[in-house]
Amino acid sequence: MIIYASGVKLFYRKGVSRLIVNFLKHELPPFYSTHPWKVTEEKFSLEHNLLSETIFSLSNGYIGIRGSFEEGLFYYPGRSIRGTYINGFYESVPIPHAERGYGYAMNTQTMLNVTDSGIIELFIEGERFTLDSGTIIYFKRVLNMKEGCLNREIIWRSPAGREVMIKIKRLASFMHRHLIAYYYRVQPLNFSGEITICSSGDGGVDNHTHEEYDPRYSASLGDLRMRVRGIEVKERGAVITQYTVRSKLEMVCAVENCINGGKILAAETKRPNDKKATTTFRLKVYQGEDVILEKYTAYYTSRDYPAEKLPGLAWEMVTNAREMGMDDLSAGQEKCCRRYWENLGLKIEGDPVVEQGLRFNLFHLLQASGSRGQTGIGAKGLTSEGYDGHYFWDMEIYMLPFFSAVNPGQARSLLKYRYSILDYARKRARELSHERGALYPWRTIAGEEGSSYFPASTAQYHINAAIAYAIFKYIDITGDYSLMLEFGAEILFETARLWEDLGTYVSRKNNQFGYNEVTGPDEYSALVNNNCYTNLMAQWHLRYAAETALLLKKKHPEDYRRLAEKIGLSEGEIKLWQQAAEAMLIPYDEAMLIHPQDEGFLDKQVWDFASTPAEKYPLLLHYHPLVIYRFQVCKQPDVILAHLLLGDRFSIEQKRRDYNYYEPITTHDSSLSPSIFSIVASEVGYVEDAYGYFHISARLDLDNLMKGTHNGVHMANMAGSWLCLVSGFAGMRISNGRPCFHPYLPEKLSGYSFRIQSGNSLLQISVNIEGVTYELVKGESISFAHCGNKIILSKGEKVTRGLREDLQDS
Amino acid sequence: MIIYASGVKLFYRKGVSRLIVNFLKHELPPFYSTHPWKVTEEKFSLEHNLLSETIFSLSNGYIGIRGSFEEGLFYYPGRSIRGTYINGFYESVPIPHAERGYGYAMNTQTMLNVTDSGIIELFIEGERFTLDSGTIIYFKRVLNMKEGCLNREIIWRSPAGREVMIKIKRLASFMHRHLIAYYYRVQPLNFSGEITICSSGDGGVDNHTHEEYDPRYSASLGDLRMRVRGIEVKERGAVITQYTVRSKLEMVCAVENCINGGKILAAETKRPNDKKATTTFRLKVYQGEDVILEKYTAYYTSRDYPAEKLPGLAWEMVTNAREMGMDDLSAGQEKCCRRYWENLGLKIEGDPVVEQGLRFNLFHLLQASGSRGQTGIGAKGLTSEGYDGHYFWDMEIYMLPFFSAVNPGQARSLLKYRYSILDYARKRARELSHERGALYPWRTIAGEEGSSYFPASTAQYHINAAIAYAIFKYIDITGDYSLMLEFGAEILFETARLWEDLGTYVSRKNNQFGYNEVTGPDEYSALVNNNCYTNLMAQWHLRYAAETALLLKKKHPEDYRRLAEKIGLSEGEIKLWQQAAEAMLIPYDEAMLIHPQDEGFLDKQVWDFASTPAEKYPLLLHYHPLVIYRFQVCKQPDVILAHLLLGDRFSIEQKRRDYNYYEPITTHDSSLSPSIFSIVASEVGYVEDAYGYFHISARLDLDNLMKGTHNGVHMANMAGSWLCLVSGFAGMRISNGRPCFHPYLPEKLSGYSFRIQSGNSLLQISVNIEGVTYELVKGESISFAHCGNKIILSKGEKVTRGLREDLQDS
């Protein structure tokens, strides 16, 4: 069977029926034009505007703005979600439980939509510029991924016939995390006359409520919308202070405007209401001559600085930015991007559509990476309020492997963030009646569990293992054991304790150790016994914790003693971890020779896919959980994910059998699904599946394949798409600190290359039809493996080898 | 081990540890004094007032009022919940789901607290009478179960030294379901002078919110509190009209006052605000002479009559009542009670405490029985807003057996009610993706599912079987097959269809038929596979439906054809029912020779009871569901209940083994628990358990053993306590329409007797140390069995036999 995505034919093996059903629906051809470094909207589309606002979001990991137009919200009701978000800045919102149970999460933290400082309104001889009036003669919106900025060019004829060229550029500064800058250039094309530019900051914002019926969205804030404490009016700008009601946080937004060109007839800043400040320039303009507004806005919050310092800091930032000017800021921005892309060394030859998609994903990962140990990366980054801006387990399982391999500092900060909320995880474990250990929240911002439906959240204990696994992977590729000593071991031991306390030895099953009433990654089953993924990861986690404890004791006795004392860890307890790990029950079906997803899974009926029409996907929006839970149907990989994470434990034949079983019953209703299937398909040699899923993963947001990108990008999948290339096609695994490759070239491609950092070395891997070339780009020397053979490269050296040959025709 | 309840020593076999832990806490001696026909509060207690308001609640199945004082709410903040409830009269309240899922119940129906017409305030020379001022010289509050009324007598000395005797009587009329009547008599004891009586009806009511942390309580109504449409002031009364916001219902309360004695100085009716009407009598009174206020209030709603007729009907009712007068009404009330008690023929000799408790329970069952096919009986009757006034499955499993045996008309009406909401059940089945059949709501008033937490509600599919089972039991004892023809078969078939559609043949288990992701009666496990009770009941249900279909087809072909056509029932479908029933998987553990509660149950660890302190019960208020679900611990009988309902299927030895296993791991955190354990203990010969649990069941509300009676009585347990006697001690079962007895005399008792109706016959069963005497009190003849031997009695005949002898010392 054949499907089309982005107008390109995709080939699939027969089994991929679910995905076909789902993805056949999306529109062809792609909405944004293809280019290696740009995402371009060639034509204004109100219909696609919500999607474009996400696609053209800018952020720097600290602050994010959606790609909404400067003209303001008013003219596009229902077609625009204006959003300005600060990572980790939240309101604490009570969770309305109709029936409350003991230990339920009582509050959720909601990332706030803060002061909208992106408003620039233009009046031409009294006629307001909007895209739904007059005539659009020319329109182009470009996300420039090399320069790190968003550009828009319009030639517009007003209803009265006046023509203007407008060029707008904006950036969320990578060098100055608090800063957003706008460059707004107007040129009268066929007239001279008067124009007015009104530049505002508006604190009269709320989070967007989602009346649509979709449990994945953010909720209304109602009485808890952010309040404006006050506005200080400056000559050509303002400082707006907001505060939150329950979380008791403060935020300041400073706005400064500079005008150049034309003749200023009047300029003043006023407050049209008590939440908004507007600087108005009345100008005499001349045909063919530019008027340029530079606008600088800065955000500071009391999560980083004392509240009383915020106005000063913010104002200082915007006045400094004005000094630097847009040219300098742009140059700095481009430099940051250049460094990033150089470091990634990404190239894909033969499939420009996929290359663009992957690069777009990597650009959003750059935009999301701003952790300094106090924040994580939300499921949607800073591109929307979806999932309330919460951090989930996918940060560790999907994003951390990427950052560990290309930006270890960012990976370390994300793990440091987890350490910063360890006390909350301890508290949560107590609420769940565990006398020892820590249970990380399924979704959170500042550490408190924010999930309301525990069967698909708190029951997903596997988040503990995800964090432990990310620590392991980070150390394995970076060699930075200081993280373990500094805080990693404490996380590792506290989370391991929970596994020991949670499980039970089952006398009726040869005293094997197992877990009842847990939920694995696949949320189309819940509260099951001995979820295969959970048991495998718990076993790995307990072993790793025990090994680490013994190693620390031997090699870092003082660190160990201090930590053991702090958390009351005894040797007896470490033995318990080992015993539990040894006794772990791993469900396996001897007749079918596959791993059941959980103990009862294979007793259920297989979902009737044949009778499920395309419009009934995703299933969670069309079937009650009781219906879904009753069948063999997976939202996303579960056993298959374990095969990737703990690959050494399973033979290729085993992985292939499990893949053959689970792939046809997986709906991929989660964006976490395609990339994992692609990687494992590569490993087991199903090259058509591997490429098909990779294509989907690479284009998932750009082509809006999940139909939900208007509500934010899918960060985990973005990292996953890179893993499809690196861990999938190039077969990279890390084994005892050494990268190992097992590369092949997908039929569709003529070549690809990428770089990874291992320790202090930067290794470039380039694959084409001839073979693979490894080159040490940075560092003194590197040791790695190619198809099982060890290679050592010295500085500047490179070596070429043949590709793997064990691929299966599927 | 020995425990005390009601100041009486109870003996238990060793296993009953949970119950001991729970019930050791309650206060001794009993708060209300013991009397065969009365419940008396000898001393005013503000501390116990919330409890007493429940205990002294009056109702007639249609309307209910809590036992709050006429003096009004104001003086007892937090110590009084004034409530007036109309069965089936509700507001539709949106359920706030923090994370909504497809098919979740979106609204719940909340029984409304309506106009408070029980307010009578008394001023003695300007001094307001309240029980927390002045001096209480004498106080007695008596629920008279023979007369069906509540009496209060007070001698009170005002702060200024004036003494009055006040005697108050109230009743909720059994003869006139819309009517409540008050008789309020005042006698000055040591003065002549002026008194003022203010009698009000107040529509300014709301439901009571429960800030306490307990998921079992009712929720706040907020903006949805009932509104007052208008008040029509009459000379000495008023007509108050209220309406609901979302459910669009209307209610009218009429109030009429008559004064006798003293000299009226002034009398007028006014509206102190726009929600309240007050009739004020200013009177000259004389030492030793009575002044009597008779007050009649009537409630009518648009659920029964067109809205425009309500004011006329209500006013007519109160004026008619005034004509009849309190004496006539009281006589009629007593007559109703006499008939009820005669019909029950209940006597217990040797344990007056238990006799009082049981009679109190039976009185509340009388008070709850007012169904005319449009309403059921709520979990708390009409004694509180607890559980939102919802009807649950326990109506069928606990209450219906009682009503079927003593008041078949009421039983029939309750089943008729279920038929009236069959269309909602069909709709609900569709929401759950069942193309055929009906799924009854777990909790409802008017038919819509009102549960918010589906794992312990919608997943309890066994409610379908409960309703089918009640139909079966009703017909079995009454012989009234017309119910089956009229509507029973339609319910039976539609609910059976769901079992067929819900289940699945498991190829890995010899193609046995089973149910995944269901919850049994025991809510300390949820979403399990093959819950033993569910599978047993489904099997029974499918068989009964198939047998009934075949029987109807043969004996009532025309009825059958009509029905089969209406619901599209084919013979093929009936075969599917039979096949599924035959193939039903019934979990059984061959090693332990017991029935596991579900497939995974025995793999779980047994709850650590030894480390669970008494104050941690009920567990649901102290442990997260994920903790409780993970262990072997039962809130209430599950397998054991199946042993009672489907007793023929299991040997005594099997029942005893299962009892021995489950009894020690059951916490009885549900009031549905003790009675079932008592009955099954009787059957298997554990006489001390049987009596202990019976005592608890009989006294559960009077002694506030669950600590929650302030929030309403436990209706199901009340019926259960009668079953302890009848099905437990006397061992009554119905087999093919014939009652069978297997009686014994508990050691604590010197005798007991009761009556049951079977067909047109009324049979009295009297047990004492000598044996059992059966007497046909009414009817031509009756056939029944005693210890397996058939006996036929003719009119007026009686026969005496020996008691069963197979009791075990426990």
pLDDT the model gives residue A219: 53
Average pLDDT over residues B450-456: 94
Give yes or no for residue A99 having a pLDDT over 70: yes
**Sorting pLDDT into bands at 50, 70 and 90, what band is A78?**
confident
Give the whole-angstrom CA distance, residue B294 versus residue B170.
10
- Neighbour count for residue A232 (Cβ, 10 Å): 14
CB contact under 8 A, A432 and B599: no
Cβ distance of B452 and A599 shorter than 8 Å? no
Of the candidates A406, A422, A515, the one whose C-alpha atom is nearest the C-alpha of residue A467 is A422
Mean pLDDT of B63-74: 87
State whether the Cα torsion B585-B590-B595-B598 is positive or negative.
negative
Distance from CA of B457 to the nearest CA of A (A): 11
Residues of B in contact with A96 (CB under 8 A): 96-98
- pLDDT tens column, B744-771: 999 999 999 999 999 999 999 999 999 9
pLDDT at B23: 53
Confidence band for B132, pLDDT divided at 50, 70 and 90: confident
Bigger pLDDT: B338 or B47? B338
Q: Give the model's confidence band at B24: pLDDT under 50 very low, under 70 low, under 90 confident, else very high.
A: very low
Contacts of A97 in chain B (CB under 8 A): 96, 98, 215, 452
Could you tell me if A93 lies within 8 Å of chain B, comparing CB atoms? no
Residue B3 has what pLDDT? 43
φ, ψ dihedrals at A383, nearest 5°: -100, -5
Do the Cβ atoms of B624 and A516 come within 8 Å? no
The percentage of chain B sitting over the pLDDT mark of 90, rounded to a whole number, equals 87
Confidence (pLDDT) at B214: 46
Distance from CA of A95 to the nearest CA of B (A): 6
Which of A16-30, A87-101, A603-617, B12-26 shows the lowest mean pLDDT across its residues? B12-26
Q: Which residue has the tokens 């509700």?
A: B90
Percentage of residues of chain A with pLDDT beyond 70: 94
Q: Which residues pair with A107 in a beta bridge?
A: A94
Mutate to test the interface with B, among A387, A616, A624, A628 (most CBs of B within 10 A): A624
Distance CA A156, CA B310 (A): 67
Query: What is the predicted ipTM?
Result: 0.93
Closest Cβ–Cβ partner in A432, A529, A626 for B603: A529
How deeply is A40 buried, as exposed, middle or buried, from its count of CB atoms within 10 A (0-12, 13-18, 19+)? middle
Mean pLDDT of A520-529: 97
Chain B partners within 8 Å of A612 (Cβ) = none
Contact A179, A84 (CB under 8 A): no
Which uninterrupted H or E stretch holds B695?
A: helix B687-699
Q: Measured between alpha carbons, how far is B30 from B338 in angstroms, rounded to an integer?
A: 27
Residue A161 region, left (φ>0) first, then alpha (ψ -120 to 50), else beta? left
Which residues 519-548 on chain B approach chain A with CB closer than 8 angstroms? 526-527, 529
A602 and B CB contact within 8 Å: yes
- Number of residues that make up chain A: 810
pLDDT at B15 over 90: no
- Residues of chain A contacting residue B96, judged by C-beta atoms under 8 Å apart: 96-98
Secondary structure (H, E, C), B162-194? CEEEEEEEEEECCCCCCEEEEEEEEEECCCCEE
Smallest Cβ distance to B100: which of A95, A213, A526?
A213
The pLDDT tens digits of the residues spanning A699-728 come to: 999 999 888 899 999 999 999 999 999 999
| Among the partner residues A96, A453, A629, nearest to B527 by beta-carbon distance | A629
What does the H/E/C string look like for B313-382?
Answer: HHHHHHHHHHHHHHHHHHHHHHHHHHHHHHHHCCEEECCHHHHHHHHHHHHHHHHHCCCCCCCCCCCCCC
pLDDT band at A41 (very low <50, low <70, confident <90, very high): very high
**Stretch A475-483: mean pLDDT:** 96
Residues 334-393 of B with CB under 8 A from A: none
| A668 pLDDT more than 60 | yes
Average pLDDT, chain A: 93
Q: How confident is the model at residue A30 (pLDDT cuts 50, 70, 90)?
A: confident
In chain B, the residue whose alpha carbon lies closest to the alpha carbon of A460 is B626
Chain A residue with Cα closest to B627: A432
A632-671 residues labelled b (16+ CB within 10 A) or e (exposed): bbbbbbbbbbbbbbebeebeeebbbbbbebbbbbbbbbbb
Closest to A98 (Cβ–Cβ): which among B96, B599, B605?
A: B96
**Nearest 5°: phi and psi at B240?**
-105, 130
Average pLDDT, chain B: 93
Q: Residue B7 — very low, low, confident or very high, per pLDDT cuts 50/70/90?
A: very low
- What is the structure's pLDDT at A539? 98
The answer to whether the beta carbons of residues B792 and B782 sit under 8 Å apart is yes
Note whether A211 contacts B: Cβ–Cβ < 8 A: no
Please report, as a single letter, which amino acid is at residue A800: T
Query: Residue B577, Cα to own-chain centre: how many angstroms?
Result: 33
Number of helices (H), then strands (E), in chain B: 20, 33
Hey, are the CB atoms on B452 and A99 less than 8 Å from each other? yes
**With contacts defined as CB-CB under 8 Å, which chain A residues touch B620?**
101-102
Q: B758 and chain A: CB distance < 8 Å anywhere?
A: no
The 3-class secondary structure across A529-553, one letter per residue, is CCCHHHHHHHHHHHHHHHHHHHHHH
- Confidence class for position A221, pLDDT limits 50, 70, 90: confident
Question: Which strand (E) or helix (H) includes residue B149?
Answer: strand B149-157
Q: Is A227 on the interface with B (CB under 8 A)?
A: no
Per-residue confidence band for A220, with pLDDT thresholds at 50, 70 and 90: low
When pLDDT is averaged across residues B359-383 and rounded to a whole number, the result is 96
Choice among B523, B573, B599, B683 that is catalytic? B523
Q: For chain B, say whether A106 makes contact (Cβ under 8 Å).
A: no
Q: Are A581 and A499 in contact (CB under 8 A)?
A: no
Q: A27 Cβ partners below 8 Å, 6+ apart?
A: none
B506 vs A458, A599, A603: nearest CB: A603
Residue A562's alpha-carbon distances to A22, A485, A566, A567, A569, in angstroms, are 54, 11, 6, 9, 10
Pairing of strands B738-741, B781-786: parallel
User: Are the CB atoms for B192 and B263 separated by under 8 Å?
Assistant: no
**Chains A, B: CB contacts under 8 A, how many?**
146
Mean predicted confidence (pLDDT) in B615-626: 94
Which tens digits make up the pLDDT trace of B209-226? Answer: 654 444 444 456 778 999
Please name the residue ranges forming H helices in B104-162. Answer: none
Instruction: Residue B453: list chain A partners with CB under 8 A.
Output: 98-99, 101
Buried b (16+ CB within 10 A) or exposed e, B259-275: bebbeeeeeebeeeeeb
Nearest 5°: CA angle at B462, between B459 and B468?
Answer: 145
Categorize the per-residue pLDDT at B19 as very low, low, confident or very high, splitting at 50, 70 and 90. low
Which residues, listed in sequence order, are joined to residue B183 by a DSSP beta bridge? B169, B294
CB contact under 8 A, B517 and A630: yes
| Mutant choice from B107, B513, B603 vs A, greatest count of A C-beta within 10 A | B603
Contact B517 A629 (CB under 8 A): yes
pTM of the model: 0.94
A523 carries an active-site annotation: yes
Among A91, A385, A523, A599, the one annotated catalytic: A523
For residue B316, with 0-12 CB atoms within 10 Å meaning exposed, 13-18 middle and 19 or more buried, which class applies? middle
Six token digits for residue A520: 């694995």
Mean pLDDT score, B516-541: 98
- Put simply, the answer to whether A516 touches B95 (Cβ < 8 Å) is no
Residue B18 pLDDT:
46
Answer whether residue B160 shows pLDDT above 60. yes
Contact status of B621 with chain A (Cβ, < 8 Å) = yes
> pLDDT at position B25, please?
43
Query: Measuring CA to CA, which residue among A543, A545, A540, A586 is closest to residue A563?
Result: A545
Give the pLDDT of residue B809. Answer: 57
Chain A residues whose beta carbon lies within 8 Å of the beta carbon of residue B599:
600
Q: A454–B624: do the CB atoms touch at under 8 Å?
A: yes
DSSP conformation letters of B236-272: TEEEEEEE-SSS--EEEEEEEEEEESSEEEEEEEEEE
CA distances from A184 to A53, A54, A69, A328, B752 (A): 18, 21, 12, 16, 95
Nearest residue, CB atoms, A432 vs list B452, B458, B627: B627
- Which of A92, A95, A99 best probes binding to B when mutated, by most B CB atoms within 10 angstroms? A99
Q: What number is the average pLDDT over the span A159-186?
A: 98
Nearest-CA distance from B314 to chain A in Å?
36
Is A791 in CB contact (< 8 Å) with chain B?
Answer: no
Is the pLDDT at B9 greater than 90? The verdict is no
pLDDT, position B29? 63
Rounded CA gap, B18 and B668, in Å? 7
Cα–Cα distance, B793 to B785 (Å, whole number): 11
